[in-house]
Structure 1
Amino acid sequence: MMIKLIKSMFQAITRPIQNLIIAYLRYLLGSPSLTDTKRDHHVTTLVIEHSGEFGRENVLYSATHAYVFNKLGIHSDSYHVGELTLADSYQGFELSWRIFYNRTIGRESFELRFDKRHKDLVYNSYLPYLESKAKEMMTIPEVHIYSHSFDTWETKPLEHHSTFETIAMKEELKRDLIHDLDMFVGGKDFYDRVGSLWTRSYLLHGPPGTGKTSLVVAMAKYLNFNVYDLQLSRPVESYFDPRKMLSGVMNNSILLVEDIDEGSTVFALSKLLRSLTLGTPCGEPCIVIFTTKNKDMIDPTLLSRISMEIYMGHCCFEGFKVLASNYLGLSHVDNDEPHRLYPDIKHLIDGQVLITPALVTVELMKSDDVDEVLEGLVKTLESLTSDKIDEDEGRHLPCI
């Protein structure tokens, strides 16, 4: 009963204070992710490493990473050797940072040194300040790719440029999805009241090149969520432990599981589903997105657990106008016809010519000359129409 009471009280505390309490407890217990060492009688050295318990990323590490590299004015991707130092000051006292690259784990560790007289001020004020400043800096979501070989998440910036404004999909479907996302992330009270996990799952299905990855990026940027890409399509050993893997997924995130129709994923996916049923590691909203090229190959058990299915079909005229706006600067307002070839393109695309957004993009990037590009697109669409007619006629040839 006492444990439940303590847990309930802890959950009632705001997230930043939770992080600070956890960090301070790690400091007191000498956790390897946040270790206090004394190199001389007057100086305290705080070591902040990437991983804490169960390989999960240390919350203070990610904040420190953003804060220190921003102060240095360099991008962390360009730093892979040696060590760097940074002098900092806070409320009239001096602190110093040392950043060193650990080749064994392939990432940085940080040392913070300060006069031991300021220990309480560092823990009670400076570190919360650092975390708040880091949140202001971390406006670009990150993508974390799971390494089955090293049993950890590898991190890099999410540099894909897709947003809901630039993605080629029907406006009605786009509005429905945005509304669904808004209802989900704002629904904590509902999930608490019904006693359900604060998790929502989506299935994106459709042929290659129809924008499934772009939609994941657009969702991540809209919510400012990081993406955790599990990549189960790669060979997975029988000892794959999804619960341990999920423990490394941070709050406010998207867990992406791609190409689940491939046979090699069946075993790992079944283990992952059981772990998701038991709960996610997040005390805040977590979204799970599955992608597939062939929905018919998916186990009905999985389909029954999907909150929302989204078919990413071939490019429609509405989607073409968005792409033409992105790459050619042409208007995509419904009542505008900014080019003489738009009626021809609309006739061809609405006439069931199957072309993916990816192929349309390739055509639009062939030249800076708008006339030349659209004339080339019309020829491509006409050739696809001709191929389709030949294919249809071939189906009706008499048997000989």
Structure 2
Amino acid sequence: MNVVDDQKGRWRSVPFTHPSTFETTAMESELKIKVKSDLESFLRAKQYYHKLGRVWKRSYLLYGPSGTGKSSFVAAVANFLSYDVYDIDLTKVSDDSDLKFLLLQTTAKSVVVFEDLDRYLSEKSTALSSSGILNFMDGILSSSCGEGRVMVYTMNEKDHVHPAILRPGRIDVHIHFPLCDFTAFKTLANSYLGLKDHKLFPQVEEIFQNGSSLSPAEIGELMIANRGSPSRALKSVINALQTEGDGNGGRCGRKAVEESGEPSGVFCTEGANAVKEFKKLYGLFRVKSNRKSPSFNLNNDLKSGL
């Protein structure tokens, strides 16, 4: 794994030993299959991309509350592809030239990660220009940094991000990471406690069905703390769901899904056919006309080219 060295503004290599895999990721099975299929299709598509005159790269947006597994998912992708990882913290990038220098040093067949992009944009930083933001996503700069790369952008939420940032070509695949549901809970119970079933599972399922939820990270920590006794671990999860996951503080999983207008684990790809398929599968794809003004203002001279 490669991270930016604050002192030198250069990449510093550290061992990448994250054990996350798609099998251990708390995600719906169907969504895992779609993601792996998409990655495998991308790996085989170099000549196809060249025939189209496009750069051979794939970009993913991972969005959802903190603790829902976005970072673990990135590690799973890197392990699945046997790719290196480059983690870029935009708050530590001094200007457009600095970002260009960092990107040009990344290698082909790597995962390049930009975490918390929405937070960076909302802070209205002047370090990077709007053209700098767009160019690292899909401009000439992006095409000069080696092929076969997977670009990953993470956000807590995307509603207030300018549509130009999210359009197809800059973001190919959108994946929603919701709070935990019962399916994700069972994955966690199997991974953390070795449980495929338990007499307390029906009670846990009922609580989830009533709308309570926590993040996978919160549930995972409870299981780790009580790993010596699976029954005690499940009881601690039940107690936490009943007391902390009742919707206070925005933790109600069902409410969060309804407000976002998207089902758990949305996998949205670019293109008209993908949108049509998405509508057929979920019937929930829509553009909100009351979108609030984005916090990140693109320069007027760029808008015609968006």
**TM-score if structure 2 supplies the norm length?**
0.74
Aligned to 1:273: 134
Among 245, 256, 259, the residue aligned to 2:102: 245
CA deviation vs aligned residue, 1:24-45 (integer Å, no higher than 9, x gap): xxxxxxxxxxxxxxxxxxxxxx
Report whether the alignment pairs 1:291 with 2:154: yes
Give the % identical residues. 32
Aligned to 1:351: 210
- Cα shift at 1:148: 4.8
Aligned to 1:397: none
Amino acid at match of 2:5: S
Aligned to 2:50: 192
Partner Cα separation in structure 2 for residue 215 and residue 253 of structure 1? 15
Q: Structure 1 residues 217 and 327, CA, compared in 2 at 3 Å: closer, same or farther?
A: same
What does residue range 298-317 of structure 1 map to in structure 2 within 5 Å? 298-304=161-167, 305-317=170-182
- Name the SS for the 1:158 alignment partner: coil
- Name the SS for the 1:290 alignment partner: strand
Partner Cα separation in structure 2 for residue 163 and residue 346 of structure 1? 25
Amino acid at match of 2:85: V
RMSD after superposition: 2.2
- Name the SS for the 1:221 alignment partner: helix
Contact 1:207 1:313 in 2 (8 A): yes
Partner Cα separation in structure 1 for residue 100 and residue 6 of structure 2? 13
- Cα shift at 1:251: 1.3
CA deviation vs aligned residue, 1:107-154 (integer Å, no higher than 9, x gap): xxxxxxxxxxxxxxxxxxxxxxxxxxxxxxxxxxxx101235412101
Aligned to 1:365: 224
Q: Structure 1 residues 183 and 267, CA, compared in 2 at 3 Å: closer, same or farther?
A: farther
What does residue range 84-123 of structure 1 map to in structure 2 within 5 Å? none
- Cα shift at 1:268: 2.6
Aligned to 1:326: 191
Contact 2:112 2:152 in 1 (8 A): yes
- Cα shift at 1:246: 1.3
CA deviation vs aligned residue, 1:157-203 (integer Å, no higher than 9, x gap): 11222110101011111111111111111101110110100011110
Partner Cα separation in structure 2 for residue 282 and residue 315 of structure 1? 37
Partner Cα separation in structure 2 for residue 238 and residue 385 of structure 1? 42
- Name the SS for the 1:201 alignment partner: strand
Question: Paired residues, what number?
Answer: 242
Among 31, 34, 37, the residue aligned to 1:173: 31
Contact 1:260 1:290 in 2 (8 A): yes
- Name the SS for the 1:315 alignment partner: coil
- Name the SS for the 2:190 alignment partner: helix
Report whether the alignment pairs 1:255 with 2:131: no
Moved over 4 A (4+): 264-267, 385-389
- Name the SS for the 1:196 alignment partner: coil
- Name the SS for the 1:261 alignment partner: helix
Amino acid at match of 1:314: L
- Cα shift at 1:353: 1.0
Q: From the two aligned structures, give the one with the greater strand fraction.
A: 1
Q: Structure 1 residues 345 and 154, CA, compared in 2 at 3 Å: closer, same or farther?
A: same
Could you list the runs of 5+ residues in structure 1 that have no partner in the other structure?
1-142, 332-337, 393-400
Partner Cα separation in structure 1 for residue 52 and residue 147 of structure 2? 16
Amino acid at match of 1:210: T
Among 361, 382, 385, the residue aligned to 2:242: 382
Contact 2:94 2:127 in 1 (8 A): no
Partner Cα separation in structure 2 for residue 212 and residue 269 of structure 1? 27
- Name the SS for the 1:268 alignment partner: coil
Contact 2:62 2:175 in 1 (8 A): yes
Contact 2:106 2:146 in 1 (8 A): no
